Amino acid sequence: MPETIPVDGARRSDAISIARVICILGVVYVHAWTGQNGEALAVLHGSGQDNLRWTLMEIFGRSAVPLLGLISGWLVAASGRTRNLPSHVERKTRTILLPMILWNLLAILIVSGAARLFGLSAPQPQSLWWVVDEVLILTRNPDINVQMPFLRDLFLCMLAAPLLVRLPGWMLALIGLTAGAAHIAGLGPPVLMRASILFFFTLGILTRRNGWEERVARLPFLLALLPFALLMGAQLYRSITVGDGGWLVAQRGLDLAVRITAAIAFWRIAWALAGSVARGLLLRIEPFAFFLFCAHLILIWVGGPLLGHVFGPMGSTFYPVYLIFQPLIVLAVVVIVGLVLQRVAPRTAAFLSGGRLKAR
C-alpha cells in the first residue's frame, strides 16, 4: 500500500526551512571552484571529474533552485501582510533588495580588491557603469556574484505579489505559462534575468491555493522522485555527451521540465527529512541559509584557490574530494562568520542575513 503521511502545519514549516538548506547547499555546486579557465575546462570535458561536476551541478544545483522560487510564492500567498502594499514593499526591500546591494558591494570590495592587491584571477571594475550594473543588476548578470539575479528577480516578483495574490487562478496560470514560454524562448532580460523565477513564483501561489504541496507530501517517496530521475538522465546525457549544440528551444524545454520535477522531488525529500533524525541539525542551519546564498561566491572566489593549493585544481587526484565537500566547507565558514557577527555586530548580522540571524 502507498505510504500515508499526515500533513500538519508544524512539519510543513520545518520542511520549508529544510528545503531552503538543501537547495542553497546545492547551489554551491553550480559555482564550485575548479581552478581552471574555460579553455582548460573544455579540454577536460568528458573526463570522470568533469562528469562528476556536471552531475552534482545538475542534480543538486540548478535543479534545486526552482523550489526556492516556488516556496517564496507559496509563502506570499499564505501571508495576509502581502495585501498591504506599503509595508510589503518596505519589508521586501529590507530583506531582499538592500542585502543584495550590500553583498554585491562587498563582492566588489573583497574579490576585486584581492585581484588588484594580490593578483587573484577575478573581475575588476572596468567603468563606473560596470560597478552600477554589478551592484544593481540593471541590464546584465553580474560578473562576481552570479547567483544574485535570483534575488533581483524575486524582488520584482515580490513587488507584483500584492496584485498576483488577488488574481483569479486562470489569470495566474496564464502569467505562469507566459513566463515558462519566455524561458523556453530565451526571453526575459533585462526585465527578468531568469523568466523561470516568475514561473515558479506564480506556481507557488497556485500551489498554496490548491494544496498541491500536501498532495506531493503524501506521494510514495520513490514515485515522487521517479519523474525527476528519468528527466535528469536525459538532461545529464545532453549536458555531458551532447553539449550545448542543437536546438536551443528543445534544450530549454527539457530544462524547464526537469526543474518542475525537481521541485516535486526536493519538496518530497525535504518533507521526509522533516520527519527524520536529521531535522534538528538542518533546522539549526536554516537561519544561516540566506547568508550562505549571498556569501558563498565571495568565499569561493577568495578561498577556493587557497584550498586548491592543498587539493589541486580540477584534474588533480584529490580534486573530487574537494568538489564534493565544497558546500560543507563554505557552510562551516559561513556559520563561524555568522556567529561572530551575531556577537560583535548583531545589526550587521541581521541585515546581511535578511533578518534571519538575530542578536544572540
The residues spanned by each domain of the chain are 9-352
Residues 189-223 have pLDDT tens digits of 999 999 999 999 999 999 999 999 999 999 999 99
Q: In the predicted model, is pLDDT for residue 81 greater than 90?
A: no
Q: Are 58 and 232 in contact (CB under 8 A)?
A: yes
DSSP state, 214?
A: H
Q: In the predicted model, is pLDDT for residue 5 greater than 60?
A: no
**Alpha-carbon distance values, 172 to 64, 163, 169, 199, 205 (Å):** 23, 10, 5, 10, 8
The torsion angles phi and psi of 137, rounded to 5 degrees, stand at 55, 60
pLDDT value of residue 132: 97
- DSSP secondary structure string for all residues of 29-72: HHT---S--HHHHHHHTTSHHHHHHHHHIIIIIITTHHHHHHHH
Residues 247-290 have pLDDT tens digits of 788 889 999 999 999 999 999 999 999 999 999 999 999 999 99
Q: How confident is the model at residue 228 (pLDDT cuts 50, 70, 90)?
A: very high
Q: What is the pTM of this model?
A: 0.93
Q: What is the mean pLDDT of the chain?
A: 92
pLDDT value of residue 37: 87
Q: What's the gap between Cα 260 and its chain centre? A: 14
pLDDT value of residue 346: 93
Q: Are 356 and 289 in contact (CB under 8 A)?
A: yes
Residues 91-132 have pLDDT tens digits of 999 999 999 999 999 999 999 999 999 999 999 999 999 999
